[in-house]
A and B are shown apart, each in its own frame.
Chain A
Amino acid sequence: MTALGKLLRTTAFKLTLVYLTVFALFAVFLLAYFAWNTRRLITEQITQTVDAEITGLAEQYRQGGIRRLVFVVDARSRRPGSSLYLVTTRAGEGLAGNVGSLATGILETSGWTETAYRRLDDPDGVEHHALVRVFQLPAGFRLLVGRDLEERERLYDIVLAAGRWSLAIVIVLGVAGGFFVTRRVLKRVDAMTETTRKIMDGDLAGRLPIAGTGDELDRLATNLNAMLERIEALMHGLKEVSDNIAHDLKTPLTRLRNRCEEALRLAEDESQYRAALESTIEESEALIRTFNALLMIARAESGQARDGMTEIDAAEIARGVGELYEPLADEKGIHLKVEAPVAVPVHGNRELISQALANLVDNAIKYGAEMNGADAEIVVTARGEGDRILLAVADSGSGIPAADRGRAVERFVRLEQSRSQPGSGLGLSLASAVARLHGGDLKLEDNRPGLRTVISLPRAGSVPPAA
């Protein structure tokens, strides 16, 4: 496609053409309206003056007869100007006036006529046009009074010329302006296209240029850039997750394999085989749990689970999870307390919210109580606050430094480097994904001492869950 072809094809240029047509039509209409009205006004003036003059002259005739009329008309005819006069006998013989020749048959008409004529003082000159009225006087005399129309025609010409010029100027300026605007827009679109092509070629870090004018192209570019940002982050996250999966699943799988190999090599009797198989099953179960957690997160993040949402009571969820974990906490010497005195309705998926809360309690038991096991305490609360529902788990352990809290929610991140506790490193990211699915969020706060994890959800019926 040639550069010009490309230019002519753009939306901006097409729009320019449309505007141009509209404006040209408007200009033509305006001029035509102006011309027509002026013409009407002039004609009206002429007829009024001529009518008045005929009335006056008829009066003269009535008072002084044909002699007086001829005298007055003769005097008026000598005045310079565009007025025409003619008095004739019944036979058409001129008695007085300044009209040299007329188109034939005019004198036989009565009323208004437009006609060509020659002046008496210029019998061989050009023909002029005039608007005349013939008045039949008593006794057969005829009186003709009129006005030359040259003035009207000159005005007509001026308007016509103005029309042509303005139309020409509108078209020239319009097309030039269209080209200019289109080129500017085209340049920016070309720059964007260029960047997009680069991005398609694999340079995900590329961003669309922003002119800084805040116009619609800038807004589009800003939004596209935000989208690219998100895509890049997701891609990065995906890569990190797959790296982590590879790493986190490789270790237990290798261990599993080694154990089987060892059993094949060393086991001597049935009980030893049995023991090896049992530990294999246990190890696989841990792996399955990790996969389940990953699937759950994927499900929550894709929004599929929104189908299973009903009106549920967050307080009941807190009591249920508390009851499930109470013996485990008790065994570790931790006092697990549930504070959920009143029902707090929430629109959500009971399973997912239960699991999210269970993960938080699980974490609190694993990590939150190791520092001061003597009077360690975990408090699970469910309460409403404004239009939010807060499900919180507070422990009295060592907590998480503020700088690490954001990272803790990421998949597979386990802040404790030694990894002495069992777990997949997915607990918090699942809780966070579940909270987001329900239009809420997961916050890690300082419990002084210890950690307070809070799932904040919109109260049932207050706000629809965000996408």
Chain B
Amino acid sequence: MYRVGDLELDRLSHQVTRAGGEIVLQPREFRLLEYLMKHAGQVVTRTMLLENVWDYHFDPQTNVIDVHISRLRSKIDKGFSQALLHTVRGAGYMIRDSK
């Protein structure tokens, strides 16, 4: 069970909730969030995500990861005043409770 702010991820039941409300994620989105939450408070680079979530050891020509992140962001942060998934410009991403 990972917890960042009011976002909770249950690794056993594959359930994600924010402020008690269930969020439905695709399997890949789940693994992406799982990896980000495992490294909560740390910067996670695009290369790290590709290697650990997709198991690809190459850099695509376009930053495909950005789009996956923005999809995930729209599912977990949309409608909440407090954003949890942050973009660290030039480096990568970080999930963090900024309170």
A interface residues, Cβ below 8 angstroms from B: 275, 277-282, 285, 288-289, 292-293, 296, 320, 323-325, 327-328, 330-331, 351, 354-355, 358-359, 362, 365-366, 422-424, 427
Contact = CB atoms under 8 A, between A and B. Distances in A.
Nearest to B60: A358
B14 interface: no
A424 B67 contact: no
Given A278-B89, A278-B90, A279-B90, A327 B58 contact: no
A128 to B, nearest CB: 106
Which 3 interchain pairs have the tightest Cβ spacing? A278-B90, A281-B90, A327-B67
29 contacts: A278-B90, A278-B91, A282-B90, A289-B59, A289-B61, A293-B61, A320-B54, A324-B60, A324-B64, A327-B64, A327-B67, A327-B68, A327-B71, A328-B64, A328-B67, A331-B67, A351-B56, A351-B57, A354-B58, A355-B56, A355-B58, A359-B60, A359-B61, A362-B60, A366-B62, A422-B62, A423-B61, A423-B62, A424-B61
Interface in B45-62: 54, 56-62
Nearest to A362: B61
Contact of A325 (B28, B59, B64, B89): B64
Nearest to B26: A323
Contact of B56 (A281, A285, A324): A324
B67 A296 contact: no
A328 B91 CA distance: 20
Which applies to chain B's interface (DSSP): helix, strand, loop or mixed? loop
A354 B56 contact: yes
A424 B90 CA distance: 19
Contact of A323 (B28, B57, B61): B28
B27 to A, nearest CB: 9
A354 B56 CA distance: 8
B64 A351 contact: no
Contact of B62 (A330, A354, A362): A362
A296 B60 CA distance: 12
Contacts of A427: 61
Nearest to B59: A289
A424 B59 CA distance: 12
Contacts of A327: 64, 67-68, 70-71
A129 B5 CA distance: 135
Contacts of A296: 58
Contacts of B54: 320, 324
A382 to B, nearest CB: 17
A363 B42 CA distance: 33
Contacts of A289: 59, 61
A236 to B, nearest CB: 26
Interface string B79-95: 00000000001110000
Given A324-B64, A331-B67, A351 B58 contact: yes
Contacts of B89: 275, 278, 282
B62 A292 contact: no
Given A355-B58, A365-B62, 7 more contacts: A292-B58, A292-B59, A327-B70, A358-B56, A358-B61, A366-B62, A423-B61
Contacts of A358: 56, 58, 60-61
Contacts of B91: 278, 281
Contacts of A359: 60-61
Contacts of B61: 289, 293, 358-359, 362, 422-424, 427
B62 A328 contact: yes
Nearest to A359: B61
Residue picked from B61, B70, B89, most chain A C-beta under 10 Å:
B61
A460 to B, nearest CB: 21
Contacts of A366: 62
Nearest to A279: B90
Nearest to B71: A327
Contacts of B56: 324, 351, 354-355, 358
Contacts of A422: 61-62
Residue picked from A275, A324, A330, A359, most chain B C-beta under 10 Å:
A324
